[in-house]
Structures are given as structure tokens and as C-alpha cells.
Amino acid sequence: MRIEVNGTTHEVADGSTVADVLVALRHTGPGIAVALADEVVPRAQHATTPLSDGAALEVLTAVQGG
């Protein structure tokens, strides 16, 4: 199925979850926030939140600096 991550189209397996996509795209570790269809997905729900064809994810990484 096709989904969008930060505006870029990606092919993922049917039944993929938010966690599956984050691992595949190497967006792991602390400081990651995810929104699915403009709704924040809590980290505890990444592994249980399924994606459907056409889903739009926004993945944000917190950075430190000044």
C-alpha cells in the first residue's frame, strides 16, 4: 500500500503499523513525535496503530540548539 511520510510517498506492506514505518525509515530513538491525519499518536500506541492505504504521517524530530 502507499502512504505519505512528511509529504513523500512510500510503499509499505499491508497491515503495517506506525512502528513498522518508523523502523523501516530509521526514525527511531528519543525525540520522535508522530501525527497521523493531524492527530498525535502517543509513543505507547505506535506498535498498535495500523496504517491504511493513503495514510499521511508527519514525523518530527526534536533537536537541541540555540
Q: How far apart (Å, rounded) are the C-alpha atoms in residues 51 and 24?
A: 14
Q: 27: exposed, middle or buried (C-beta count within 10 Å: 0-12, 13-18, 19+)?
A: middle
Domain ranges of the chain: 2-61
Average pLDDT over residues 8-33: 94
pLDDT, one tens digit per residue, over 22-41 is 999 998 888 899 999 999 99
Domain 2-61 matching CATH 1.20.950.20: the answer reads no
Judged against a pLDDT cut of 80, whether residue 64 lies above it is answered with no
pTM for the full predicted model: 0.89
